[in-house]
Amino acid sequence: MLESAEVGHTIDKATFERELPALREDLLGAQYELLEKARFPAMLLVNGLDASGRGETVNALKEWMDPRHLRVHALVEPSQEERERPEAWRFWRALPPKGRIGIFFGNWYTLPLIARVRGELRAAELDQHLDEILRFERMLADEGALILKFWFHLPRKQQKKRLEKLEADPATRWRVTKRDWAHYRLYRQFRDVAERTLRQTSTAHAPWIVVEGTDRYYRNLSVGKTLLGALRHRLAEPETPGPATEPPLPERIDQHNIIARLDLSQKLDKAKYEKQLPEYQGRLARLTRKKRFRDHSVIALFEGVDAAGKGGAIRRVANALDIRHYDIYPIAAPTDEERAQPYLWRFWRHVPARGRIAIFDRSWYGRVLVERVDNLCTEHDWMRAYSEINDFEEQLVRAGAIVLKFWLQISPEEQLRRFKEREATAHKRFKITPEDWRNREKRPLYERAVLDMVDRTSTEIAPWQLISAEDKRYARIEVLKTLCERIETAI
């Protein structure tokens, strides 16, 4: 893929200056149309060889466009804060919202590529990284992002010539480092790894554009026109998505399933509950104070039918913990800021550092539950979410997180009793809303969604814990007991 960037592409200065005013005007117009419509974000990934003009081209784009609505991120070596979380965390935090342009000058390709060139990654390990990147970019594209990936290339002789020229000029000498010369000596390895990376990760929804970096007029004009063409093409597309074409999930032809088999008759009398509650809370408190716990985080999410007792269970967990070491995130309908990002963004930004605990009252599973049942997203969106969520949780676990997923289940009769009790009790009345009654009418649809969710996202690293919550005391002890056992196993 790199041969076309070694043929000596050039544009004379007169041609560049003649075409530049119209290009700047058109780019600025497209940028403001993107901002006004706010239908999708644009992401430019800037990669390539040292001294190939990447920085100069990015600076040109910032000069030609409105820099207030364009963010440049130079994400290379991770900070200590970033090392305590999954690798993708820092990229998720930097994603531009709909209507904005983000330029990633150092991105999710940078470190794996350099590590492979240096021999720190085997070929198979690089392939694993690239597979993860492909899934990440597929998800971003499905969420509407425009992704353009630029590889700036130079023939080896031209790279040496540019490095020597920069080093000879006192005004630019600082731009050439020992690292640049070390990478120059590894030119053949960089070229081979780049060729492999580009070949495996250039897709229809996130293509690589190879740019020859020898001539700055050609390089800058080529990138500017490519960006303009991509923005215009996407802005001209119809806003409404096409119909879903996914094959349907299989129908369930009997009533045997894991929810129906859950024994809702399990109870715990008050005396045993009052004895076991402080025992498990103390056990949990001691576990989170152990030195080995500092190498882990805990992410506990609570889902369940309305009025199943999620809030009560969360309070009993929180009462066992040091308030300085945990956060509780109640998840409601997304805000305007959150709607401008991929649906997992609002959860990625709350991923805890090691030694901390994050408790989610509702979670990312809203995509395959309420959004599915209430038709708030397309069938394609919630169908792809199963694998995206599994990827998300795998990255959490690889980074040291202990992921616990609780589903609290009660019968329709018990739910009705609790609804009526809430309506009749002044300090509980705020808990019952018209939406709760509407959801109750859709209970068969929710049950089908729950079964599909458990089938497709209960994994060996992040299994679902189905809790009989007909008796609140029993459910709270089961939650605490499960938390203790999972943490003990992990540390």
User: pLDDT for 49-69, tens place per residue?
Assistant: 888 899 999 999 999 999 999
Q: Are residues 139 and 206 in the same domain?
A: yes
11 touches 221 (CB < 8 A): yes
| % of the chain beyond a pLDDT of 70 | 97
Higher-pLDDT residue of 138, 178: 138
Last residue of a domain, one of 236, 254, 287: 236
Question: pLDDT at position 428, please?
Answer: 80
Is residue 391 helix, strand or coil? helix
Higher-pLDDT residue of 248, 80: 80
Last residue of a domain, one of 214, 236, 258: 236
Distance, in Å, from the CA atom of 174 to the CA atom of 54, rounded to the nearest integer, reads 16
Is residue 223 in some structural domain? yes
The mean predicted confidence, pLDDT, of the chain is 93
Q: Are residues 171 and 295 in the same domain?
A: no
Question: pLDDT at position 370, please?
Answer: 96
**Which residue matches tokens 């998505």?**
241
pLDDT band per the 50, 70, 90 thresholds, residue 86: very high
Question: pLDDT at position 4, please?
Answer: 75
CA-wise closest residue to 453 among 332, 301, 314, 263: 301
Q: Answer yes or no: pTM beyond 0.85.
A: yes
In sequence order, what E strands does 78-227 have?
A: 101-104, 146-153, 208-212
Q: Are residues 349 and 423 in the same domain?
A: yes
422 touches 307 (CB < 8 A): yes
pLDDT at 87 over 90: yes
| Structure tokens belonging to residue 334 | 């997304």
Question: pLDDT at position 439, please?
Answer: 87
pLDDT band per the 50, 70, 90 thresholds, residue 298: very high
Q: Are residues 159 and 279 in the same domain?
A: no
Question: pLDDT at position 133, please?
Answer: 97
42: containing domain: 3-236
CB atoms < 10 A from the CB of 144, how many? Answer: 14
Count of residues in the chain: 491
Question: pLDDT at position 138, please?
Answer: 96
Question: pLDDT at position 183, please?
Answer: 86
Question: pLDDT at position 241, please?
Answer: 56
Domain count, the chain: 2
pLDDT at 254 over 70: no
CATH, residue 45: 3.40.50.300
Last residue of a domain, one of 236, 259, 294: 236
214-243 per-position pLDDT tens digit:
999 999 999 999 999 999 999 998 876 554
368-405 per-position pLDDT tens digit:
999 999 999 999 999 999 999 999 999 999 999 999 99
Is residue 61 in some structural domain? yes
Reading phi first (left if > 0) and then psi (alpha if -120 to 50, else beta), residue 187 is in: alpha
Is residue 10 helix, strand or coil? coil
Q: What are phi and psi of 157, to 5 degrees?
A: -65, -40
Distance, in Å, from the CA atom of 74 to the CA atom of 139, rounded to the nearest integer, reads 22
Higher-pLDDT residue of 249, 397: 397
DSSP label of 77:
S
Question: pLDDT at position 245, please?
Answer: 54
Q: Are residues 53 and 196 in the same domain?
A: yes
Reading phi first (left if > 0) and then psi (alpha if -120 to 50, else beta), residue 307 is in: left
pLDDT at 15 over 80: yes
Q: Are residues 225 and 123 in the same domain?
A: yes
Q: Are residues 83 and 145 in the same domain?
A: yes
What is the average pLDDT across 462-482? 97
Q: Are residues 26 and 150 in the same domain?
A: yes
pLDDT band per the 50, 70, 90 thresholds, residue 420: very high
pLDDT band per the 50, 70, 90 thresholds, residue 246: low
Question: pLDDT at position 240, please?
Answer: 64
pLDDT at 340 over 90: yes
Q: Are residues 150 and 204 in the same domain?
A: yes
Q: Are residues 368 and 221 in the same domain?
A: no
42-48 and 146-153 strand pairing: parallel
Q: What is the CA radius of gyration of the chain?
A: 27
